[in-house]
Structures are given as C-alpha cells and as structure tokens.
Amino acid sequence: MKRFLVIGHNAVTAGNFSLNDMPGGAGRMDILCSCINSCFFLSHSLRDDVECYLLLLGEPMPPKTILIKGDEVRYLNPDERSTGSLLKKALDLPCGEKFRESTKGIYVKRRGLKCLLKDYEFSVLDENGSDIRETENAPCSYILSDNHNFTGEEEDMLKDLPRVSAGPKVLHADHTITVILNELDRRGL
Ligand SMILES: C[S@@+](CC[C@H](N)C(=O)[O-])C[C@H]1O[C@@H](n2cnc3c(N)ncnc32)[C@H](O)[C@@H]1O
C-alpha cells in the first residue's frame, strides 16, 4: 500500500463551503482535490493500492483528517467539483477520534498530525531531501504540504523522519505525488 498525507493549512473543516470558491473561501481545498486526483487516477482506472490522507487545519473545527482508500472508494470522478462535493459530505458528518465512513471509501475523524505520525512511518517530501532515484529502498508513505511551507511546529514533529526529493525543482503538491508514483511504478512497487 502506498500512502500520501497532505497538510491543508487553511482548508476549512466544515462542509458548508462553496464549490464555486474552493481556492478562496474553502482555504485552497482545490489543492487537496488535485492531490486526490493525482493519488488515484490512471487513464482508464483507479489506483487501488493507494491511500490518501488529508489533514485539514482551517476553521471552524481543526484538525480533521479525511482518508480516501483506493480499493474502496466509489463516486470519485476526475473533475474537481465532484471531488469537492465528496469532501463536503465528509466534513458534514459529525465525527470523533475514530474514523467514520461518509461515502464509500471516504472516512473522517477529528485527529491531527501527531496521531497520524504514530500510525505509519512517513517520509517527508522535500526538494532538498535524498533524490528518490538514488534511494535503494524507496519508502511507500509520504507526507507533503499544500502551497505553504510546513510550520515550525510541524517541522519539529517531522525533524527525525527521512526526507525524499522528487527532483531539483519545487513542484506543486499534486505534481510531486505524480512523480513519486511514477518512480514507484518503475520499481514495480
Ligand atoms: C508547492 S510546495 C510548498 C511550498 C514550497 N515550499 C514553496 O517554496 O513554494 C508543495 C509541497 O510539495 C512537496 N514538494 C515540492 N517539490 C518537491 C520536490 N522537488 N521534491 C519533493 N517534494 C516536493 C513539498 O512537500 C512541498 O511542501
């Protein structure tokens, strides 16, 4: 199983956002939708061996974690609006510290980074990290940020994790996922 955890620093944590304003009022929810797209869509099928975790830190109820499981998810389409509406449903669902399913294969809970880091051994995606092409054992679980740098507090929590680079240029988060998945595909992972 491959995993990507994307931190949405301003992504809202209630389902009442407008699908017409995902880049603005919803706190760059559009970036999270693009990351979902990169995690799962192949030309004619879905990647069923990927899990995408979204950590939403915007108002009014941060933190919330949404999990999308490639082997279970239904109703996922490549367009941003329909993905946004699945996220709205997840954020509308009352939830506690354990995952609750909102629609098939999409889960939500009220937990933050500290808790997620206990569950898996993530590597941090960082353009200054070790080049994935030079890494003998490529990791399968990665954490990355949205359009912002990791905060100081996050950096502190991530400081002991391995750092992996997808290449020398700073990429958009969704493109970074695509490059990493391509590298893992080439290794048959
Ligand atoms: C748009 S970047 C975040 C902002 C970025 N630090 C900047 O200076 O504009 C989104 C995220 O993608 C990941 N990323 C971008 N380029 C990368 C690369 N070449 N290798 C590994 N990760 C990368 C990092 O996790 C980064 O936090």
Q: In what order do the strands lie in the sheet with 163-165?
A: 100-103, 106-109, 64-69, 50-56, 2-8, 141-145, 123-131, 163-165
What domain range includes position 130? 1-189
pLDDT for the residue 28 = 98
Q: Is the CB of 127 under 6 A from ligand 1?
A: yes
Question: How many domains are there within the chain?
Answer: 1
| CATH code for the domain of 15 | 3.40.1280.10
Cβ–Cβ < 8 Å for 47, 40: yes
Residue range 73-111, pLDDT digits in tens: 999 999 999 999 999 999 999 999 999 999 999 999 999
- Two tokens, residue 8: 């949405």
Is 130 touching ligand 1 by the criterion CB < 6 Å?
no
Which ligand 1 atom is nearest residue 166's CA?
20
Per residue in 120-158, pLDDT tens?
999 999 999 999 999 999 999 999 999 999 999 999 999
pLDDT-based confidence at residue 72 (cuts at 50, 70, 90): very high
Establish whether residue 20 lines the binding site of ligand 1, counting it when its CB lies within 6 angstroms of any ligand atom. no
179 lines ligand 1 (CB under 6 A): no
State mean pLDDT over 159-171.
98
